[in-house]
A and B are shown apart, each in its own frame.
Chain A
């Protein structure tokens, strides 16, 4: 059963506007969350992360928000650029001693020039 869910398979956004990618999880033991970005024919690469003790983490144009009560997180990209077009995977981890991740199904973002 999918413990990390990304319900939007795809998203299209105009260049310069905000992109918002959403992720929901079911396991209350998850305490660390990550976003990975994947270009075609390449492996995923780490983008940004957030611990459950925070509700926001920002890195340049990328911000991740965490709502623990709703078991929901989102990735905001502002402003969106054509080079941001990729598949974005949400991932979660349970416990500081665990190094395995649970991934969602991914959201394909297309930024239109």
Chain B
């Protein structure tokens, strides 16, 4: 069975450019999470959706960050304009509402480098 699919795996771009990260959750999963991993802060939750509706976006660092989930099988995380401090690994995870508590399935991440 396909797991959570993230694209691209790596992204290198210059500061000021728009960056779009993509995620396809596991089919049948109805919760989706976006995380950012850094050495200093570990895994930070940026935003999560239940049934395609954003529930908590308090982790989104600035207005430069936005996330959408237009349907149950696709989500995007956009950074515009990007800055060097946005460089990190971004993970998407999905789970089943009411399923085993706390058990989230992660994609392999997008390593983002802003020059």
A91-113 interface code vs B (CB 8 A; 1 in, 0 out): 10100100111111110000000
Q: Which one of B11-19, B60-68, B72-80, B101-109 contacts A?
A: B101-109
Would you call A49 and B101 a contact (CB within 8 A)?
yes
Instruction: Report A87 CB to chain B, min CB distance, Å.
Output: 9
By the criterion of a CB under 8 Å from any partner CB, how many residues of chain B are at the interface?
28
Compute the total of residue contacts between A and B using a CB distance below 8 Å.
Answer: 65
**Chain A interfacial positions (CB closer than 8 Å to B):** 2, 6, 32, 34, 41-46, 49, 89, 91, 93, 96, 99-106
Contacts A/B (CB < 8 Å), 21 sampled: A2-B42, A34-B102, A42-B109, A43-B91, A43-B93, A43-B108, A44-B43, A46-B102, A49-B103, A91-B102, A93-B101, A93-B102, A99-B101, A100-B33, A100-B55, A101-B104, A103-B35, A103-B43, A103-B45, A104-B42, A105-B41
